[in-house]
Amino acid sequence: MAHQQPTLDLSPPIGDATHKTTCYMCACRCGIDVHLKGGRVAYIEGNRDHPVNKGVLCAKGSAGIMQVNAPSRLRAPLRRVGPRGSGQFEEISWDEALQTAVDWMAPLRATAPEKLAFFTGRDQSQSLTGWWAQMFGTPNYAAHGGFCSVNMAAAGIATMGGAFWEFGQPDWERARLLLLFGVAEDHDSNPIKIGIGQLKDRGARIIGINPIRTGYNAVADDWIGITPGTDGLLILSLVHCLLQAGKVDLDYLARWTNAPLLVNEDPKSPDRGLFLRDAAGKPLVLDRRTGLPVAFDAPGVKPGLAHGYRRAGITHRPVFQILADRYLSPDYAPETVADRCGVPAPRIRALAAELAHVAFDQAIEIAEPWTDFRGERHETVTGRPVAMHAMRGISAHSNGFQTARALHLLQILLGTVETPGGFRFKPPCPKPMEAQPRPNARATPGQPLKGPHLGFPLGPEDLAVDAAGRPLRIDKAFSWENPLSAHGLMHMVIANAHAGDPYRIDTLFLYMANMAWNSSMGTERVTRMLTDIDPDTGEYVIPRIIYSDAYSSEMVAYADLILPDTTYLERHDCISLLDRPISEADAAGDAIRWPVVEPDRDVRGFQSVLIDLGARLGLPGFVTDDGRPAYADYADYIQRHERRPGIGPLMGFRGDGTDTGRGAPNGDQIARYIDNGGVFTHHIPTGARFMKPWNAAYQDWAIALGLQDRRQPYLFNLWLEPLRRFQRAAEGQGDHQPPDHLRARLVAAMDPLPHWSEPLEQAAIDQSDYPLHALTQRPMAMYHSWGSQNAWLRQIHGENPLYLPTAVWEAQGFAEGDWARVTSPHGEIVVPVAHMAALNPHTVWTWNAIGKRKGAWALDPRAPEATRGFLLNHLIHELLPPRGDGHRWANSDPVTGQAAWFDLRVRVEKAPAPQESQPAFPPLASPVGQGPATLAWKIGP
């Protein structure tokens, strides 16, 4: 047949409208163009003008169309009719649902506000949800950070006034070397991928430090397959090598960090470990010009690092000398740490040498004059182009806070923070720990809390404990057990409420957190706690559970009242500077979501529902003086709410539409955002872009924008004095004293200089019984439990074998298709296995949250996610194994309370293949039925 070709329509219409909004297929908040045909979603792609993703979009984002049509979407408010955990519900009206919630909550507010515990999951509206809880008056509020990455967040803010991801980023444009520690494939998704592409284009080097070589680590030029939980030790060994060679930025350390501050070293002094201060309380440094102590911020001062100072018979030494003493010790020599880290000593030295070479021999100078807080003008900014990024891999260990501190110490010693080519803050950061709020936790019936729940205690007096030292919060956040729990401890709420420790609650109110499945440690145990009956009352031990979710998750089945949320394309949201915005190193940024399609079900955006509940409960701020609802809905709140005069959720188009940051509310603001592509950016001027914590021009820009009300220059905390204050208390100093059983642990954990300690669980067990580390990673194409309801994404990741390293695979003669019994100190599972060579030899792992409960997510109960998929959660406990000291210790970081997911130790044995993964659970009744048998989803003709 001769060549012939038909005539094609090469210009079909893309849609009849394009609406620009913000993605929510994961937490990264990329901009999307939603193309509609006849009011229905026809295609989703990245928004080229958006600062986060610049047009690109990941697999999850592109699959959004299959989320908006997902059969798992809840359809109407539900009231439980079967026993908890059965999944049996009846549909009720919104009026009935809201009245039920009010009937449960109003008496609690009047008598004991702490009996309501309100915890939100991957919530992007914490400035609203937190404020609501504050106005309700319960101390029991937090979002999911405690089981996610609070160690990164808290260590970053405490050490340098900002953390990775939302509040800081590698300088992708200028870095010549990138170190990635424990970054799977998330946080943040597209920006890291874009950045890796940029580095590769320029020929910059990437080194991946991760037990597992997937994803970003697969494309890294070099891979260090470190043993889990030892990153801190590796980092401090790098510090050892760099100090030994003098490859640290002394000028940077002397000017911008607390390296020159003078620490009281007198063992007999009550103030040992605290800084020498002047009468006004300002820390002192020794001025190199005069040798005399002066305030650290005195004009023209040249802080010294080399000499100590004696005053009133008390010896003081600069922080730098104390840290040099510590890290020059042979304890941190590469040869000492190599075996433990699983990294040969020459490799550690080579990495240190490469850091030194890039930082000091490839320095960049940018001619951008600026003036520092001491009044000194600088003609250039010096960059040391070593960038680093880290996330849950180092964070989700019980030594994660100090490990993250060690990482920041390394960055700072090299002079790479807020300098070109290194790590750069994103507004509203930098914001030091001192400028963050203190926690508020004292409940008064009928009254709001005095201030926000979450913050940073600077010493024992700021803890959320009563006069006897007992925790005020249900999750024991900000207690002596974990003083710096800046994001709360959501993973402890159900266990503590069930145990009545520190007290019982009445109503548990949760938003988009799958606590009856993949977000809890010991899933089976937690579901039993949710269904346990109190024999004295005949009621559930946790009497009432209200849950809001958009989808038929496992948690839905364990609640009594369901408030169905919309999908992300059917709602208003704001990605706010008051919360977790989308700023870049060179610009502040915020954004909105808006309903690009209308819901086809009887569902309401949770934030609008919360505002409605606030009005019905008469909460201050949610009602007008005459008792009417203050806001019609969330959109109205976004436009009209003022947190401080002139400062609202969105910075753009304020006042008459021309004000930015500060300005009166504007009823046209959301419309203006929509016209602007759903996003607003405000650039930092040249001369203010670098050295932000100390740069007068940046500080003034931030004040004008409303990010802060005054200049707040500060020094980076190499020595973290607030930790020392807790240590002092544990040593018996001061009025606020910890319980005796916590003293030794506090002294060890609250070390003011970064240290490495063995993860708590492995220190508590016989490691020969559990020789392997077990980890999870999030795949790039799935977000937690959300992906499995998505017809396209579940075809990519429908199963999650446990990957075994070669040594384990060969030693036990595993073959393809085999199963294994995996045993931890807390339980066992039987699961499918697969071989992987690009893996630390002492580590097994699987993809996170692929396993599903039968009947959830509108999947067929025979779905592979429910029959072959599994969770490692069954092997993990929120408490450590008993030690025989009468106490059960939390499986959390002792500084922040971060859930130590990755401390898990297991043994693996070949097992006969069961019918399905073990443990197997009975099916839940699906409140939404099941999905269709086929899909051919074309909207247009």
- Binders in 277-306 for other proteins, by CB under 8 A: 288, 302, 304-306
- Give residues 343-402 in contact with other proteins (rule: CB under 8 A): 346-347, 349-350, 352-354, 356-357, 361
CB of 636 to other proteins, least distance (A): 34
Strand partners, 284: 295
- Rounded to a whole number of angstroms, the distance between the first and last alpha carbons of the chain is 32
Across 653-768, the runs of DSSP E, i.e. the strands, are: 679-683
Please select the residue that binds other proteins; options are 31, 46, 182, 752, rule is CB under 8 A: 46
Nearer to other proteins (CB atom), residue 213 or residue 692: 213
Query: Could you say whether residue 19 binds other proteins (CB under 8 A)?
Result: no
Site size for other proteins (CB under 8 A): 114
In the complex, minimum distance from the CB of residue 802 to other proteins, in angstroms, rounded to a whole number = 16
Q: Which of 246, 267, 667, 912 binds other proteins (CB under 8 A)?
A: 246
Binding letters toward other proteins, positions 324-353, x by CB under 8 A:
xx--x-----------------xx-xx-xx
H or E segment and range at residue 127:
helix 126-136
Residue 471, helix vs strand vs coil: strand
How far apart, in whole angstroms, are the C-alpha atoms of residue 81 and residue 168?
Answer: 48
**Interface residue with other proteins, options 161, 589, 599, 931 (CB under 8 A):** 931
Which residue lies nearer to other proteins by CB, 771 or 932?
Answer: 932
d(CA 142, CA 144): 7
Binding mask 252-271 for other proteins (x = CB under 8 A): --x-----------------
Q: What angle do CA 901, 902, 905 make, to 5 degrees?
A: 105
Question: Does the footprint of other proteins cover residue 169 (CB under 8 A)?
Answer: no
**What residues form DSSP beta bridges with 548?**
511, 563
Site for other proteins (CB under 8 A): which residue of 31, 130, 215, 827?
215
**Where does this chain touch other proteins (CB under 8 A) — which range of 1-9, 411-419, 707-715, 752-760?**
1-9
CB nearer to other proteins: pick between 304 and 738:
304
- Least gap, CB of 503 to other proteins (angstroms): 43
**What whole-number distance in Å separates Cα of residue 545 and Cα of residue 479?**
25
Contact between 178 and other proteins per CB under 8 A: no
Site string for other proteins, 848-887 (x = CB under 8 A): ----------xxx-xxx--x--------------------
Instruction: Work out whether 57 is an interface residue with other proteins (CB under 8 A).
Output: yes
**Which positions from 718 through 737 interact with other proteins, judged by CB under 8 A?**
none
Give the residues across from 318 on adjacent strands.
262
Burial 268-288 (b: 16+ CB within 10 A, else e): ebeebbbbbbeeeeebbbbbe
Q: Which listed residue (106, 837, 913, 925) binds other proteins by CB under 8 A?
A: 837
Instruction: For the CB of residue 303, give the shortest distance to other proteins in the complex, in Å.
Output: 10
Q: Contact region for other proteins (CB under 8 A) — 196-204, 493-501, 567-575, 882-890?
A: 196-204
CB of 698 to other proteins, least distance (A): 24
Identify the residue among 22, 47, 53, 576 touching other proteins (CB under 8 A). 53
> For other proteins, which stretch binds (CB under 8 A), given 90-98, 262-270, 433-441, 834-842?
834-842
Listed in order, strand segments (DSSP E) in 686-784 are 772-777
* Binds other proteins (CB under 8 A): choice among 703, 838, 879, 911: 838
Provide the residue type at 754 as one letter: P
Is 220 a residue that touches other proteins (CB under 8 A)?
Answer: yes
Comparison of 265 and 758: residue with beta carbon closer to other proteins:
265
Cβ proximity to other proteins, 332 vs 631, nearer residue: 332
Q: Which of 83, 197, 817, 922 binds other proteins (CB under 8 A)?
A: 197
Peptide bond into 188 cis (omega under 30): yes
Q: Which residue has the tokens 């446990």?
A: 802
> Judged by CB under 8 A, does residue 225 bind other proteins?
yes
| Cβ atoms of residues 166 and 157 within 8 Å | no
- 185 touching other proteins, by CB under 8 A: yes
Min dist. Cβ of residue 413 to other proteins (A): 13
Q: Choose, by CB under 8 A, the member of 17, 106, 107, 200 that binds other proteins.
A: 200
Of 189 and 398, which has the nearer Cβ to other proteins?
189
Nearer to other proteins, 380 or 447 (CB): 380
DSSP calls for 834-890: EE-SSB-TTEEEEETT----TTGGG--TT-HHHHT---SGGG--SBPPP-SSS---B
d(CA 44, CA 67): 12
Nearer to other proteins, 361 or 885 (CB): 361
Contact between 747 and other proteins by CB under 8 A: the answer reads no
Binds other proteins by CB under 8 A, chosen from 193, 272, 476, 728: 193
Note whether 399 and 229 are within 8 A (CB): yes
Which CB atom, from 223 or from 370, has the smaller least distance to other proteins?
223
Asked if residue 460 lies in contact with residue 426, where contact means CB atoms within 8 angstroms, the answer is no
Contact present, 491 and 766 (Cβ < 8 Å)? no
Question: 272: which 2 tokens?
Answer: 């040992």
Window of 61-69, 389-397, 458-466, 843-851 that interacts with other proteins by CB under 8 A: 61-69
C-beta closer to other proteins: residue 15 or 722: 15
Copy the structure tokens of residue 921.
Answer: 């659970």
Which tokens belong to 333? Answer: 């020599």
Measuring CA to CA, which residue among 393, 78, 452, 465 is closest to residue 227? Answer: 393
Cβ 402 to other proteins shortest distance, Å: 24
Smallest distance, other proteins to C-beta of residue 37, A: 8
Alpha-carbon torsion, ordered 225, 229, 230, 236, to 10 deg: 120
Q: Which stretch binds other proteins (CB under 8 A): 242-250, 634-642, 874-882, 891-899?
A: 242-250
- 58: contact with other proteins by CB under 8 A: yes
Question: What SS3 state is found at 429?
Answer: coil
Distance CA 462, CA 265 (A): 25
In Å, what is the CA distance from 568 to each residue of 487, 596, 613, 796, 882? Answer: 24, 9, 21, 22, 44
- Smallest gap from Cβ 353 to other proteins, in A, equals 4
Rank residues 349 and 601 by Cβ distance to other proteins and give the closer one: 349
Dist CA 772 CA 824 (whole Å): 10
Whole-angstrom distance, CA of residue 341 vs CA of residue 232 = 9
| Torsion-angle region of 633 (φ positive above 0: left; ψ -120 to 50: alpha; else: beta) | beta
Element at 219 (helix H, strand E): helix 215-219
Three-class HEC string of 630-648 = CCCCHHHHHHHCCCECCEC
Rounded to an integer, what distance in angstroms lies between the CA atom of residue 899 and that of residue 572? 31
222 near other proteins (CB under 8 A): yes
Cα separations in angstroms, 766 against 341, 873, 883, 906: 19, 21, 12, 11
The rounded distance, in Å, linking the Cα atoms of 694 and 373 is 5
Of 857, 144, 103, which is closest to residue 550 (Cα–Cα)?
857
Using CB under 8 A as the binding rule, the residues of this chain from 772 to 831 that contact other proteins are 780-781, 789, 791-796, 798
* Residue 468 contacts other proteins per CB under 8 A: no
Nearest approach in angstroms of CB 863 to other proteins is 6
Asked if residue 201 binds other proteins (CB under 8 A), the reply is yes
Compute the half-sphere exposure of residue 807: CA atoms within 13 Å on the CB side of its CA: 8
Q: Residue 10 or 312: which CB sits closer to other proteins?
A: 10
CB of 326 to other proteins, least distance (A): 11
In whole angstroms, the minimum distance from the beta carbon of 306 to other proteins comes to: 5
Q: Six-digit token pair at 749? A: 């954990």
Stretch that binds other proteins, among 62-70, 364-372, 450-458, 844-852 (CB under 8 A): 62-70
